[in-house]
Amino acid sequence: MDVFGDLLMGLSIAITPINMLYLLIGAIVGMVVGVIPGFGPSAGLAILLPVTFGMDPTGAIMMLAAIYYGAMYGGTITSILLNTPGESATVASTFDGYPLAKKGRAGPALVMQAVASFVGGTVGVILITILAPMFSQVSRSFGPPEYFLLAMMGMLTLVVMIGTNWKLGLISALIGFALGTVGVDLETGQGRYTFGSAELIGGIYFIPVAIGLFGLGELFYSFYVGMHRSGSGGIVQYDKEASFWPSAEDFLTTRMTMVRGSILGFVVGVIPGAGATIASLMAYSTERSVSKAPEKFGTGEMAGLVAPETANNAASSGAMIPLLTLGIPGSASTAVLLAAFMLWGLRPGPLFMEQNPELAWGLIASMYLGNMILLVISIFAIPLFVQIIKVPYRILGPIVVVICTLGTFSVHASFIETYLMFAAGIIGFFMRLYGFSPAALVLALVLGPLAEEALRQTLTISRGSGMIFLERQASLWIIGVTIVLVIVLPLMSRYGRSSGTAEKAGT
Amino acid sequence: MRIAFLLAVLAGGTYYTYVAFADLNFLTRTGRLGPGFFPRSIGVMIVLLTIWALSDALRQGRGDQADAGRWRDVVMLMALAVCYAVTLRVFGGFLATVIYLAVTLAVLNRGRPVQNALLSVIVPVVIYLLFDRVLNASMPPGLVDILPI
């Protein structure tokens, strides 16, 4: 079947009333998660994953994916109205989003961010539709050496992007790898770090760790920085402005910005470890450098808001490519999505789209519909999300603790896993506080067993020789790309961040 | 505190590495990579990197003096969460959640007893209906069954 036929088949699956309902719930929940400062898509996905267990796999995956990309839409509302990014990928949106709101253009800024998010997300899905089958074809020639190298590429790029704290990022990743070795060794049947406990034979379960680190850990950190004490008094009153809708000039002046942001964001999103935050910062600095009036950036320039918005949404779509076609998650959020696939007995990889066409194409088709739903919601339901921003953290906090706890218990009805979640929450808080990376830990926990298995298979094939990595063309390509990324990405990210800092300083 | 946390990571990493060398074989009997290969490599790297990070932290000195107010709130939230975990086992999911929310909101959201009381009942009821009735997922059972749910 051709791509168009596959997509139509996917649409026929996604458009059923029940799946549309799941998609709508996912989009709304994603926006809510994005709106709450301190909670990103990783936390939202981890906390809500157990809720999907009673659902049909296709609907569940569609809903979780909608939470994932929906968070990008929601995160910007607080960037514009409160100068507080809902999550890290919308930091760049504060540079011009908040100045626009202060200038009395909050309404047009909110609408333009929704349109930009829609364009970025939709261009991203179009590129997935075209490129995912091609990536699947290419990755079919990959063997254990390539899978090991891809896993290492994801980890390395994530660690180098951490910046000055790369040592702590690497330690976090190594702790994740270490936790991934707990359980029975599949090759020899020998128990590792089980200490005679039946609960540990199957290994340390991913969900309690992810919920603890991202849910409780982030919540404790938010309390530490005093978010429960700060009110929402600084919200810009957008509903008292003269015009809510953007002008024709806003659309005309930013049309090429949307194209550049979408393509750049998608490409960065495909790279394991890079992610939406880097994409948005890079898009901002690129737009500033091509602008005829770069001095206006940071003072409320519409292109300065549109560029990061298209990029972070396109990046979140791009990150689905390595997930679906290689089974390699490039970020903590896609690691949680991978865990969701695995819970349903699905293993993304080169044959995934061929063996599970209904689910794969249903998911891709649902992303087109999800972006449309999110466009409508993020324009017309702004008052609702403003009300959510106003819910004080001191009320939200205890409720999040309850949802994390009961959600973890519901997975396997296990008190041990619930206590593990609490322990991960406390450790996650200290990791966050002292500059460690919970995201690197979670990604390594998922990639660790895969990397170990691939490495052992590789060295068995090569009879212990590491030269196999230099003898295979595909391996050489991956090594080359990894070296380039490890050198180039931190430089580009630093440039993006410095541009943003310059804008902030200028305002 | 930062140094204490790094020391805890170092202790954990050292123990992990010790077990990898003491109990897990580097190679199998057939000469293939054994169950100890990966843990030994990871363990050694954790120990070395943590020592490096620790020496950096010691050089930087005690730069992380936070005010007591920040710690008081977060430690209280953690302590209440741990108490919730304990009461969960004793009273079960529903009742423990009512108790936890009532106590936590009384501490954090002072001066609003009606709002706190309503939230302490409404939230557990909604979660119970969602988990137990809609999603068919189990709520934690208690050792002391006071309520029939």
The residue of chain A with its CA nearest to that of B23 is A192
B residues 103..122 contacting A (CB < 8 A):
104-105, 108-109, 119
pLDDT of amino acid A505: 45
Which chain B residue is nearest to residue A229, measuring alpha carbons?
Answer: B108
Which residues of A are less than 8 Å from B73 in CB distance? Answer: 223-224, 226, 228
CB A28 within 8 Å of CB A377: yes
What mean pLDDT is reported for chain B? 87
Residues of A in contact with B16 (CB under 8 A): 178, 193
- Which residue does chain A place closest to B103, by CA atoms? A398
Mutation for B interface: A53, A172, A396, A406, most B CBs within 10 A: A406
Tens digits of per-residue pLDDT, B69-109?
778 888 999 999 999 999 998 888 899 999 999 999 999 88
Which residues in chain B have Cβ-Cβ distances shorter than 8 Å to A405? 81, 84-85, 88
Q: Is the pLDDT of residue B2 over 90?
A: no
Q: Alpha carbon of A141 to those of A147, A326, A352, A474: distances in Å? A: 11, 11, 14, 8
- Chain B contact for A394 (CB, 8 A cutoff): yes
> Can you tell me the distance from the alpha carbon of A45 to that of A54, in angstroms, rounded to the nearest whole number?
16
| Distance in angstroms (rounded) separating the CA atoms of residues B149 and B141 | 9
* Selection from A397, A407, A422 nearest residue A336 by Cα: A407
Q: For residue B145, what pLDDT is reported?
A: 62
A418, A408 Cβ separation under 8 angstroms: yes
Tokens standing for residue A11: 């649409």
Q: How far is residue A80's CA from residue A308's CA, in Å, rounded to a whole number?
A: 13
Q: Where are the domains of chain A?
A: 3-506
What is the tens place of the pLDDT at every residue in A478-502? 999 889 888 887 777 666 666 655 5
Structure confidence at residue A1 (pLDDT): 57
A 94-133 residues with CB below 8 A of B? Answer: none
Q: Are A432 and A217 in contact (CB under 8 A)?
A: yes
Residues of A in contact with B123 (CB under 8 A): 399, 402
Look up residue A209 and give its two tokens.
Answer: 């760790």
Question: What is the predicted pLDDT for the residue at A327?
Answer: 86
Interval B127-142: pLDDT, tens: 888 877 777 777 888 7
To which residue do tokens 């819970």 refer? Answer: A343
CA distance B54 to chain A (A): 10
Q: Do B39 and A181 touch (CB under 8 A)?
A: yes
Low-confidence ranges of chain A (pLDDT < 70): 1, 38, 162-164, 230-236, 238-242, 493-507
Residues A176-186 as b/e (b if ≥16 CB within 10 A, e otherwise) read bbbbbbbbbbe
E strand residue ranges, A139-296 = 183-184, 191-192
What is the C-alpha to C-alpha distance for residues A40 and A138, in angstroms, rounded to an integer? 32
Check B53 against A181: CB less than 8 A apart. Answer: no
- pLDDT, chain A, mean: 86
Decide if B26 touches A, using CB distance below 8 A: no
A148 touches chain B (CB under 8 A): no
DSSP-derived 3-state class of residue A368: helix
Question: Do residues A153 and A27 touch, judged by C-beta distance below 8 A?
Answer: no
Tell me, letter by letter, the H, E, C secondary structure of A434-488: CCCCHHHHHHHHHHHHHHHHHHHHHHHHCCCCCCHHHHCHHHHHHHHHHHHHHHH
Q: Which of residues 40-99 of B touch A (CB under 8 A)?
A: 42-43, 45-46, 49-50, 52-53, 56, 64, 66, 70-71, 73-74, 77-78, 80-82, 84-85, 88-89, 93, 97
Nearest-Cα residue of chain B relative to residue A396: B105
Which of B46, B74, B130 faces A175 most closely, judged by CB atoms? B46
Please name the member of A223, A392, A418 whose beta carbon is closest to the beta carbon of B74: A223
Give me the helices (H) in chain B, please. 2-23, 37-60, 68-91, 93-108, 113-128
Mean pLDDT of B34-62: 91
CA distances for A491 relative to A15, A206, A271, A288, angstroms? 43, 33, 15, 17
The answer to whether A284 and A92 are in contact (CB under 8 A) is yes
- Give the whole-angstrom CA distance, residue B44 versus residue B54: 15
What is the CB neighbour count within 10 angstroms for residue A189?
Answer: 8
**Helix, strand or coil for residue B27?**
strand
**Record: contact A459-B73, CB cut-off 8 A:** no
**Quick one: which of A456, A403, A454, A414 has its CA closest to A39?**
A403
For A431, nearest residue in chain B (alpha carbons) = B5
Q: What are phi and psi of A191, to 5 degrees?
A: -75, 140
The shares of helix, strand and coil residues in chain A, as percent rounded to the nearest 5, are: 80, 0, 20
> Which residues are registered as beta bridge partners of A184?
A191
Rounded distance, CA A353 to CA A364, Å?
11
* Domain ranges within chain B, ordered by starting residue: 2-60, 68-134
